[in-house]
């Protein structure tokens, strides 16, 4: 079992550069707390392994996770990012521009994810990353399975939710929703899951090809 020092070492193994650090600062200032560097590096890794050209992000924040994803995607890839907060997306656009990503690589869509996701194409995406309303995670899972091609990857942030998911006495709505997500992903025959103990937990799963 890894010690806290080893977990901290793993979290910081791939450090953030100045652009990511500045985006993180902006996010914290406006209450859009970004995922930690270990989770960001994992997203970059997953996008690279998947050869991702088309990625959906649920929860733009201020661009930290989106930038990690873009850096792992193919040079001709497009990131579609959905958020209800226009100010967060404005800051994310600033982050992407500072990192040298043009508007043609990024599609920012304002609105509730559950209003936007049903309009996206079936099987048209290589990776879906969700980091938004925890009580909507099960709905995001359904949409993600529909959106992904076989071999595509879905990832959920905060899958350990403040160390509360593993404690069965914790019954607040967000914790229950994230715990139920884990159960559903684990039991879903169309997915092969993995829980990564990075940051606040990163739940990932690959969509299997039809039997």
43-90 pLDDT tens trace = 999 999 999 999 999 999 999 999 999 999 999 999 999 999 999 999
Tens-digit pLDDT profile for residues 120-134: 999 999 999 999 999
Residue 211 has pLDDT above 90, yes or no: no
Per-residue pLDDT at 119 exceeds 90: yes
pLDDT digits (tens, 9 = 90+) for 132-178: 999 999 999 999 999 999 999 999 999 999 999 999 999 999 999 99
Closest Cα to residue 143, out of 158, 131, 128, 132?
A: 128
Give the domain CATH number at 190: 3.40.50.150
- Return the pLDDT at 103: 84
pLDDT at 144: 98
pTM of the model: 0.96
Terminal Cα-to-Cα distance of the chain (whole angstroms): 36
Look up the domain containing 37 and give its range. Answer: 4-207
Q: How confident is the model at residue 20 (pLDDT cuts 50, 70, 90)?
A: very high
CA-to-CA distance for 131 and 149, rounded, in angstroms? 20
pLDDT score for 2: 79
Mean pLDDT, residues 94-107 taken together? 93
Q: Residue 202: is its pLDDT beyond 90? A: yes
Answer yes or no: is pLDDT of 182 > 90: yes
Report whether 24 contacts 46 (CB < 8 A): no
Q: Beta strand 202-207 with 191-196: parallel, antiparallel or unpaired?
A: antiparallel
Going 101 to 80 to 211 to 141, the CA torsion angle's sign is positive
Count of domains observed in the chain: 1
């Amino acid at each position: 079992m890894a010690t806290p020092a080893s977990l901290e070492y793993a979290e910081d193994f791939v450090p953030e550069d100045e652009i990511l650090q500045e985006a993180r600062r902006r996010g914290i200032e406006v209450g859009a707390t970004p995922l930690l560097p270990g989770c960001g590096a994992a997203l970059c890794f997953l996008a690279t392994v998947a050869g991702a050209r088309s990625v959906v992000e649920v929860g733009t924040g201020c661009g930290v996770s989106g930038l990690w994803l873009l850096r792992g995607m193919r040079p001709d890839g497009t990131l579609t990012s959905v958020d209800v907060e226009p100010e967060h997306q404005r800051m994310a656009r600033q982050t992407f521009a500072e990192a040298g990503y043009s508007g043609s690589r990024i599609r920012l869509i304002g609105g509730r994810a559950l209003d936007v996701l049903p309009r996206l194409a079936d099987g048209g995406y290589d990776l879906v990353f969700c980091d938004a309303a925890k009580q909507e995670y099960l709905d995001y899972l359904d949409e993600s399975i529909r959106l992904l091609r076989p071999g595509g990857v879905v990832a959920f942030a905060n899958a350990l939710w403040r160390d509360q998911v593993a404690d069965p006495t914790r019954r607040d709505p967000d914790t229950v929703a994230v715990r139920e997500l884990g159960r559903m992903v684990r039991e879903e025959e169309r997915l092969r899951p993995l829980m990564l103990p990075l940051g606040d937990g990163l739940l990932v799963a690959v969509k299997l090809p039809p039997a």
